[in-house]
Amino acid sequence: MIKAFNYVLERNALEDWLVVAGVAVALLVLLLLRGILARRMSCRAAESGKTCVFRPGDVAESLLRHTRAYFFLGILLVVASIVLDLPGKSDAIFRNVGLVALFAQAATWAHGLIGLGIGRTKAVRGTHDAGVSTTLGAMGFLLRTAVWTIAVLMSLHAFGVSITAFVAGLGVGGVAVALAVQNILSDVFSSASILLDKPFEVGDMIAVGDALGTVESIGIKTTRIRSESGDLLVFANSDLLKTRIRNFKRMVERRVELSVGVSLHTPHTKAELVPGLLREIIKSTPRVRLERAHLKEFGESSLNYEAIYWIQVPDYLAFMDAQETIHLEILRRFQEEEIELVHPSRTLYKADGVAPVRW
């Protein structure tokens, strides 16, 4: 038996040929099982809910689905170049071709995972905004280009091609291009930051500086906001991230400060009634939560009362309705109690003549 294994065939022992044959059979079996496993995992992924971007089952299914036959061939060629003593430069050729196949398979896997991540991000976020889709598509294109560029460079290096000068030139060219389009790249990366960090989304009402409006679209370079007056405001994404943004859609409750001034000549008994009236009026208003109501200060021409309350819904129309109800009720109750509402005023006295000037 030992002699049989040491039998030399084409400069290689029988044992070496059996090792290569065993590897080939194992790879063939894996190639056949790949399709079956991919189909089963695909069915399980379809039955489960879409609750996150990456799940182990989805990743495994994507890797299996993007596994190509040349991957197994590449493994076989690399194993053959290591185990067998091949004539001439055949072992180097086998090894290099196998490495190229492995690099191509790695790039294919990365390509599939990038597509999976982008597709699931759209599904999880549940958005159909064209700007977001365009941004994700651009990000996917850049990532795939980088992956395949690295795979090509590694393949050239495997065949002994010097890529140092090419990489250096690519780096210098990349720096030059980046300097030329730095503003555009800044907006593109800002768009990705908006997409991932989500300070606002399409449909949110936001305030940027003095501008207030509803977000209509988030593009690669710009974000478009429809103002309350109807005009369209276009902001560069990089400028948006440098500005303080107020997102009203994320508001849970709306805090309101109410100031009421009554006459300084109001009797003490009437002045004592005002905080209680304010509390009663605010508490009786639907969807309103009272925080406090007090006599705040003695003003120049009035007794100033302050009440703080919360509108328990973020809707702006509900806020205006509640505020109107409270104001009208204050006016009615104060008139019933004969409490005079005032606002700051001043009296100007004008002289009838001009005083004589004495030298």
Please check whether residues 271 and 318 belong to one and the same domain. Answer: yes
Q: Which residue has the higher pLDDT, 180 or 319?
A: 319
| Region of 224 on the Ramachandran plot (φ > 0 left; ψ -120 to 50 alpha; else beta) | beta
Give the mean pLDDT of the chain: 78
- Assess whether 203 and 93 both reside in one domain: no
Angle made by CA atoms 315, 319, 321, in degrees to the nearest 5: 115
The answer to whether residue 181 sits within a structural domain is no
Most confidently modeled range among 34-43, 91-100, 160-169, 304-313:
304-313
Residue 338 pLDDT greater than 80, yes or no = yes
- Note the pLDDT tens digit of each residue in 200-222: 888 888 888 888 888 888 877 88
For residues 235-241, give the mean pLDDT: 85
Residues 238 and 278 placed together within one structural domain of the fold = no
Same structural domain, 24 and 146 = yes
Question: E strand or H helix at 29, and its extent?
Answer: helix 14-47
- Helix then strand count (H, E) for the chain reads 11, 10
Does some domain include residue 185?
Answer: no
Asked if 23 and 145 sit in the same domain, the reply is yes
pLDDT of residue 330: 93
pLDDT(3) > 60: no
Report the number of distinct structural domains present in the chain: 3
| Percentage of the chain modeled with pLDDT above 70 | 75
What pLDDT, in 10s, does the model give residues 276-295?
Answer: 999 999 999 999 999 999 99
Residue 213 lies in a domain: yes
pLDDT at 54 over 70: no
Let me know whether 212 and 95 are in one domain.
Answer: no
Using the predicted structure, report yes or no on whether residue 309 has a pLDDT greater than 90: yes
Instruction: Note the pLDDT of residue 327.
Output: 94
Stronger pLDDT, 106 or 53, i.e. the higher one: 106
- Cα 163 to Cα 96, 100, 119, 171, 212, distances in angstroms: 16, 15, 34, 12, 53
Given 202, 220, 247, which residue is the final one in a domain? 247
| 305 located within any domain | yes
Shared domain check, 262 and 239: no
Q: What is the pLDDT of residue 328?
A: 95
| pLDDT at residue 43 in the model | 54
Shared domain check, 154 and 269: no
User: What is the rounded average pLDDT of the residues 237-248?
Assistant: 85
Strand order of the β-sheet with 254-263 is 254-263, 302-311, 288-298
Tell whether 290 is covered by a domain.
yes
Residues 6+ apart with CB under 8 A from 190: 236, 237, 238, 240, 241
Alpha helix positions (H), 84-181:
90-125, 130-158, 164-180
- Two tokens at 183? 């503003």
More confident residue, 357 or 221: 221
Residue 118 banded pLDDT, cuts 50, 70, 90: confident
Residue 59 resides in a domain:
yes
119 and 214 assigned to the same domain: no
Do residue 267 and residue 309 come from a single domain?
yes
Q: 343 lies in a domain?
A: no
Task: Supply the pLDDT for residue 326.
Answer: 95
318 and 278 part of one domain:
yes
Confidence band of 7 (pLDDT split at 50, 70, 90): very low
The CATH number covering residue 210 comes to 2.30.30.60
In this structure, the answer to whether residues 56 and 116 fall within a common structural domain is yes
- Which CATH number fits the domain that encloses residue 265? 3.30.70.100
Closest Cα to residue 158, out of 103, 87, 91, 84?
A: 103
Q: Which domain holds residue 92?
A: 7-126+137-158
Residue 351 lies in a domain: no
For residue 5, what pLDDT is reported? 45
Residue percentage of the chain with pLDDT more than 90? 18
